[in-house]
Amino acid sequence: MLKSNYSLTAIFVLMVFLSSCGRDVVYTDSATMPAKTWQLDNVSSFQVPVDDTVTGNNIYFSIRTGASYPYRNIYLFVTTVSPDGKSITDTLQYYLADEKGNWYGRGFGDIHELMLPFKSNVYFPVKGSYQVKVQHGMRIQDLKGVYDFGIRVEKISKQNS
């Protein structure tokens, strides 16, 4: 079992590395959910370092779920706190599967990974560390089938501007 988990982790890391080729990744991180369950009081917190206030950025969330995930959607409460202490909270809903239960994103076996667009063409107004806190907003305490949740910030290439 340990070898199987190691293989899955190695494949996931390789997929993330290969998907980042050719992009200007500012920050990426993820939080693993203990026992593949996202508990309501488990708030994923990310410290995004910002030293560029003139280039636009796209921000994505990534979620990896398994076959035991019981819903086709997910609600998220996202709070962003700037270095000067200002905060904003968003309530978001994302669909992870269609009406027939076909999962969006990519995956193999019972694991599916999906990139969820959060903000597009964002200019950070202040240099420093931005804290992004994410909590699931489903109506249950223990959200089973969530393997991990992450964030990715990419600079917008000048070619696409």
Asked if residue 108 belongs to a domain, the reply is yes
Residue (of 126, 102, 148) closest to 52 by Cα position: 126
Helix, strand counts (H, E) of the chain: 1, 11
Asked if residue 135 belongs to a domain, the reply is yes
Q: Say what the pTM is.
A: 0.82
Asked if residue 113 belongs to a domain, the reply is yes
Asked if residue 86 belongs to a domain, the reply is yes
**DSSP for residue 34:** G
Distance CA 53, CA 37 (A): 36
Q: What is the pLDDT of residue 108?
A: 85
Distance CA 134, CA 61 (A): 10
- Mind listing the pLDDT tens digit for each residue in 18-55? 554 546 999 999 999 999 999 999 999 999 999 999 99
Query: Could you tell me the residue range of the domain that residue 126 belongs to?
Result: 24-155
Cα 10 versus chain centre, distance:
19
Q: What is the pLDDT of residue 159?
A: 60
- Count of domains in the chain? 1
- Mind listing the pLDDT tens digit for each residue in 87-139? 999 999 999 999 998 899 998 888 999 999 999 999 999 999 999 999 999 99
Q: What is the pLDDT of residue 2?
A: 45
Looking up residue 147, the CATH number of its domain turns out to be: 2.60.120
Q: Kindly report the number of other CB atoms within 10 A of residue 17's CB atom.
A: 9
Mean pLDDT value across residues 9-20: 51
Q: What is the pLDDT of residue 157?
A: 83
Asked if residue 18 belongs to a domain, the reply is no
**How would residue 11 be classed by pLDDT, with cut points 50, 70 and 90?**
low
> Which residues have C-beta within 8 Å of that of residue 36, sequence separation ≥ 6?
66, 68, 144, 145, 146, 147
Residue pair 144/68 in contact by the 8 Å Cβ criterion? yes
**DSSP for residue 97:** B
Q: Kindly report the number of other CB atoms within 10 A of residue 151's CB atom.
A: 22
Asked if residue 37 belongs to a domain, the reply is yes
